[in-house]
Amino acid sequence: MKNKVTTQRDSLKVFTIPAGILSLLLTLNGLFAMPGIDLRQDAVLSFAYCALPLLSLPLYLLALGVPRLLPIQTILVLAYIPVYSALNWRTCAALGTCGSVTSVVLTTITTSKVLLYWGVALCSLAAFVVERCGDPSSSERNLKR
């Protein structure tokens, strides 16, 4: 029979390994997007569109040593959605095909890149929760408060 520590490590791997794979894919996606982006128009948005996915893998690797950083992936995806939506709005406005802002945001949320980002964020959050709930020192700290 497995003890609690082994079970917690196995549970942690269930979330950290997919988070790492998805994070690598997201970073590669960001690298491949860089040559095609036009930085002359909306340079800040264009830079953020490329930079936010590129931060995913380094943040994941840092979070392996400092688990408190795992939830930051969620902040990155929440920052990425408005950036990507604004660029999508720019494109559809230039083509004259925009519906409403809501429709553009909803369309953006359903793209593979955003879904990939959500996968990284949710796996990272789950790993953070498993790590925090199974860490005896964190529960001892909470009891002392």
Can you tell me the distance from the alpha carbon of 111 to that of 58, in angstroms, rounded to the nearest whole number?
Answer: 23
9-18, 63-72, 81-90, 96-105, range with the lowest pLDDT: 9-18
User: What pLDDT is recorded for position 81?
Assistant: 95
More confident residue, 97 or 62: 62
More confident residue, 130 or 108: 108
Percent of the chain scored above 90 by pLDDT? Answer: 34
pLDDT, mean of residues 52-68: 89
Closest of 108, 78, 110 to residue 90, by C-alpha? 108
More confident residue, 126 or 137: 126
7-11, 102-106, 124-128, range with the lowest pLDDT: 7-11
Can you tell me the distance from the alpha carbon of 30 to that of 22, in angstroms, rounded to the nearest whole number?
Answer: 12
Question: What residues does each domain of the chain span?
Answer: 4-137
46-60, 78-92, 109-123, 127-141, range with the lowest pLDDT: 127-141
Q: How large is the angle between the packed helices 43-54 and 56-65, nearest 10 degrees?
A: 40
